[in-house]
Amino acid sequence: MTATATTPRVPADSRGPRASRVGRVTGSPVLRLVVKRLLMAIPIMLGVTVLTFWVLSLIPGNAAQQLLGPEATPEDIALLEQQLGLDKPGVVRYLEWLQGAVTGDLGQSIVSRQPVSEILSQRLPVTGEIVLLAFVVSLVLAIPVALLAAHKPDGVMDRISMVVSTLGLSVANYVLALLLVLVFAVTLGWLPAIGFVPLEDGLWPNLRSMILPSAAIGLPLFCFYTRFLRGDLVDQMQQEEYVTTARAKGVGSWSVLIKHAFRNSSFGLITIVGLNLGALIGGTVIIEQIFALPGIGQMLLQAINTRDFVVVQAAVVIFALVAVLANLIVDLLYAVLDPRIRYGSS
């Protein structure tokens, strides 16, 4: 608190010369925020894994029964259960799993005996590519469309974007996926209906197999971002005093919109994007199923069907980790962008 004594607290707007900047970083409320949020993530991750174990233990039947089929004798099943370690109580199995997971060892698949890390290294890139494509393209398209729409509220662009985004938000992604297949694969024959071409077979074939799945995920996302950003921009332009000030200074309308309003609206957009990332990954489950893509979602569905709990657990950990990390990054971006939060003056 000596810093406060020597340099009196100044309003955020009239920030002092460079001298105090160093002090701010080392005093680092940002660092404290990171640590605090990371500590908060630990109980959430623990809760998620406990919940998964519990829910999975409710599913009737186990991997031993699934592997041996309906003809197996109870003795055979009991033997295999013992070999696979399935006869131990759930709490013990969870603690054993947790012990491995903490050291980065997610165990091996009960069904295929393949290490989970190996399975993940094959499947993560596929899901990652779809999500990244959908995410980047929708965001890149949403920003200019929202700006155009907000520039003239109730204008032609605004109305078109409103109708499109309302429709896009009401369509289920599996329905959209099938309609896209119906139009672009079945009727027009431009793109493959299903299947995945790895990147090693060339960039274009790979992208071709990814266009429809990414579009099915990205289109609703685009609508969501556009709609949110447009609404926030219009609110800023109509209600905020800084907009009136800028206009009175003679700043052009596009300039006010982009340099002033958009800057402020980007906070809201970042929050929405972060909150959405978890749901986005979850949404890939059904899309991967429709397009027969070998990603995490398909792995999860197969694992649930074969009662391969180790693999299910790994998928859930990945999904939850993405959600938690996305929220963490949002908080950090906030702190970086907004001085009020950085200095904890709220």
Quote the CA–CA distance of 311 and 317 in Å, as a whole number.
10
76-88 core/surface letters (b: 16 or more CB in 10 A; e: else): ebeebbeebebee
Residue closest to 310 by CA, chosen among 17, 147, 101: 101
Q: Does 218 bind other proteins (CB under 8 A)?
A: no
Quote the CA–CA distance of 278 and 276 in Å, as a whole number.
6
Residue 28: CB minimum distance to other proteins, A: 25
Contacts of residue 113, defined as CB under 8 A and 6 or more positions apart, other chains included, come to none
Q: Does 128 bind other proteins (CB under 8 A)?
A: no
Q: Does 333 bind other proteins (CB under 8 A)?
A: no
Q: Does 246 bind other proteins (CB under 8 A)?
A: no
Q: Does 55 bind other proteins (CB under 8 A)?
A: yes
Quote the CA–CA distance of 158 and 168 in Å, as a whole number.
15
Q: Does 172 bind other proteins (CB under 8 A)?
A: yes
CB-CB contact of 224 with 272 (8 Å): yes
Quote the CA–CA distance of 274 and 36 in Å, as a whole number.
18
Q: Does 239 bind other proteins (CB under 8 A)?
A: yes
Q: Which of 99, 117, 170, 345 binds other proteins (CB under 8 A)?
A: 170
Q: Which of 101, 146, 299, 312 binds other proteins (CB under 8 A)?
A: 312
Residue closest to 254 by CA, chosen among 149, 153, 151: 151
Q: Does 302 bind other proteins (CB under 8 A)?
A: no
Q: Which of 63, 145, 273, 281 binds other proteins (CB under 8 A)?
A: 281
Q: Which part of the chain contacts other proteins (CB under 8 A), choosing from 17-25, 97-105, 181-189, 261-269? A: 181-189
Q: Which part of the chain contacts other proteins (CB under 8 A), choosing from 102-110, 124-132, 171-179, 331-339? A: 171-179
Residue closest to 62 by CA, chosen among 85, 83, 86: 86
Q: Does 300 bind other proteins (CB under 8 A)?
A: yes
Q: Which part of the chain contacts other proteins (CB under 8 A), choosing from 18-26, 51-59, 91-99, 137-145? A: 51-59
Q: Which of 8, 11, 17, 43 binds other proteins (CB under 8 A)?
A: 43
CB-CB contact of 168 with 220 (8 Å): yes
Q: Which of 1, 58, 203, 248 binds other proteins (CB under 8 A)?
A: 58
Q: Which of 76, 87, 235, 240 binds other proteins (CB under 8 A)?
A: 235
Alpha helices (H) in 292-338, listed in sequence order: 296-305, 309-337
192-220 core/surface letters (b: 16 or more CB in 10 A; e: else): bbeebbeeeeeeeeeeebbbbbbbbbbbb
Q: Which of 315, 330, 331, 335 binds other proteins (CB under 8 A)?
A: 315
Q: Which is nearer to other proteins, 79 or 325 (CB)?
A: 325
Residue 185: CB minimum distance to other proteins, A: 9
Tokens of 318: 């990945």
CB-CB contact of 312 with 300 (8 Å): yes
Residue 45: CB minimum distance to other proteins, A: 8
Q: Which of 210, 212, 261, 285 binds other proteins (CB under 8 A)?
A: 285
Quote the CA–CA distance of 223 and 161 in Å, as a whole number.
8
Residue 20 sits at φ, ψ, to 5 deg, of: -85, -15
Q: Which part of the chain contacts other proteins (CB under 8 A), choosing from 67-75, 80-88, 93-101, 315-323? A: 315-323
Say which DSSP state 108 is in.
B
**Which spans of this chain sit near other proteins (rule: CB under 8 A)?**
43-45, 47-48, 51-52, 55-56, 58-60, 153-154, 166-167, 169-172, 174-175, 178-179, 181-182, 186, 234-235, 238-239, 278-279, 281-283, 285-286, 289-290, 300-301, 304, 312, 315-316, 319-320, 323-324
